[in-house]
Amino acid sequence: MNNETKNQHLRKITDAIKKKEGISFRYLRPDGQVTRHNAVYPREIFSKGKYTYFKAYCHFTRDVRSFRLDRVQSLQLVQLTRNKRYSGLKERLIAIIVVLVIPVSYMIWTFTGGNPKGQWVLVTHVIDGDTIKVGRGWRCEKVRLIGVDTPETVHPERPTGFFGPEASEFTKKQLEGKKVHLEFEPSTQYDDYGRLLAYVFLLDGTLFNAELIKQGYARVITPSPFHYYKEFRLYEQEARVKGLGLWAGKDICKEIIGNRRSKIYRLPGDAGCGRIKEKNRIYFDTEEEAIKAGYRRAKR
């Protein structure tokens, strides 16, 4: 390359840097091959030893490279907009933003009390047969299974109920550490204790609330105007007839039964009903009804 051509190339490169425009040229590589560069954007000119170089951003390879000036041939200014220079970068940034914003927005929606119709969550801990903890967005939340009541195992003021440990173990085996799908009643999302009320569906579509009742691990909470109430009552009757779980044994209560003499009531699944004489028995539809009538829960 003669000095005149070199100076022409330098002027064009300098002009491209000032105007933030591109250049195109052919480049003689050290191995003797000539390559074509159609969208190169110069950034700076520098010297190293006896040679002059320029550093430029290559649109197609999407990187910054250095070129030796005396190897450049047929250099031309290219009238391209600056947007094309960064189009690839913009595309990648947009893709990254989309990937990040969608899940983050969903977590924020959930964290701030969003109530989607259904939601997949991970069960992080089983508290007892009818209460679990799940990872929901950025927080861990207690979930109370709708429509079912398993015998007590962790209540601070009540004794462990008959078949309670078995119910807790069953729930732990089926749910802990697994993904489940939560669905909610449209009218009520939380109970008086701040627990999220939900139907829990397994990966295969099984409604776990119903399974607890079918296998005798839980009784139906009554009266409750929830969606599956009739089905749950039918499952409970079938479990009673079969004598499953908490319905096994003659001494196990199958209803809420009070003793007129002692003013003590027992819940379904509690032991001791076999010892209450028929003439002393009184039946209640709900535990609240028994309490209002002046009865107290049996301690054992």
pLDDT tens digits along 249-263: 767 777 899 999 999
What are 199's strand-pairing partners? 183
Torsion of CA 6, 38, 14, 69, to 10 degrees: -30
Q: In 10 A of CB 122, how many CB atoms?
A: 15
Nearest to 141 by CA among 180, 87, 86: 180
Segments making up each domain of the chain, as ranges: 3-78, 84-112, 120-225, 252-297
pLDDT digits (tens, 9 = 90+) for 168-211: 999 999 999 999 999 998 887 888 888 999 999 999 999 999 99
Tokens representing residue 244 in the block: 């499953």
* pLDDT the model gives residue 282: 94
Domain 120-225 has CATH 2.40.50.90: yes
Please, what are the averages of pLDDT over each run of 10 residues along the chain (300 residues)? 85 90 88 83 89 85 84 83 50 65 52 54 94 84 93 77 89 95 88 90 95 94 80 90 81 85 87 85 91 88
Write out the H or E segment, with its range, that includes residue 131.
Answer: strand 131-136
What is d(CA 276, CA 266) in angstroms, rounded to the nearest whole number?
Answer: 10
Q: Which residues are catalytic?
A: 144, 152, 195
Closest CA to 185 of 112, 118, 113, 110: 118
Count of CB atoms situated within 10 Å of the CB of 35: 9
Fold held by 3-78? SH3 type barrels. (2.30.30)
